[in-house]
Amino acid sequence: MDKLKIEDVPEAFEYVARLFAEKKDELCEMDAAMGDGDLGLTMSKGYGALPGFLRDLTGEGDIGKMMFKGAMKMQNTVPSTMGTLMSSGVMEAGKAFKGKTELLPADMATYAVKFAEGIKKRGKCELGDRTILDSVDAAAKKATALVESDSSASFRDVMNAAVEGAEEGCEATKEMLPKFGKAAVHSAKAKGVIDQGALAGKYMLEGLRNYFAEQQ
């Protein structure tokens, strides 16, 4: 696969939805120790609905508009903090893809970069705050470094780099203290444990990687 066409985008996010369905209980258990305990439900519900929203919008003939509008509907489906952050990431990527009818492998690095930017803007968080930003920003940097050094990198190559970066970002959160929400109250429990939001960010990218892995 050398191009991702507009009609393929909903299917790519189906793989994200499937992975979040599989990881729902794990994320809920992690979140129960540090937050509300509903992270897995939020992710599986939000990303479970997104592919359908995207399919309904393929008639736009514009990947950017499709992603932006689809993410807005996703946000209304899961109006929680993490639901809003995830939706904001997809929306920011949608802005970058405005006017496009197909994406190239390098565009997936852009997706990661813009996703991270969307989260940072909406969440008012910084690197080191122990949030989803710590994993997706690391993913964006690793994917960008790959496409800048290897113009022949495939979709699978770019997403492998992104997931590797996200894994490193997740590991780094073990040494960070939370500054937001209920997790900040339970900060003593955070030491040595991966941030559940950062892990959710990794799973989002991993789902996309799974899609591209099956296309080649």
Question: Token pair of 158, please?
Answer: 């770019």
Calculate the CA 68 to chain-centre distance: 14
Nearest to residue 42, comparing CAs of 58, 22, 62, 28? 28
Q: What percent of the chain has pLDDT over 70?
A: 94
Which amino acid, one-letter code, is at 185?
V
pLDDT in tens, 7-54: 999 999 999 999 999 999 999 999 888 778 899 999 999 999 999 999
Nearest to residue 127, comparing CAs of 138, 143, 139, 118? 138
Residue 36 has a pLDDT of 81
pTM of the model: 0.94
Q: Which domains does the chain have, with CATH numbers?
A: 4-215 (1.25.40.340)
pLDDT of 180 > 70? The answer is no
Is residue 209 a contact partner of residue 176, using CB atoms and an 8 Å limit? no
Is residue 204 a contact partner of residue 13, using CB atoms and an 8 Å limit? no
Is residue 216 a contact partner of residue 156, using CB atoms and an 8 Å limit? yes
Residue 177 has a pLDDT of 78
Question: How many helices and strands (H and E) does the chain possess?
Answer: 9, 2
Across 46-55, 147-156, 169-178, least confident range: 169-178
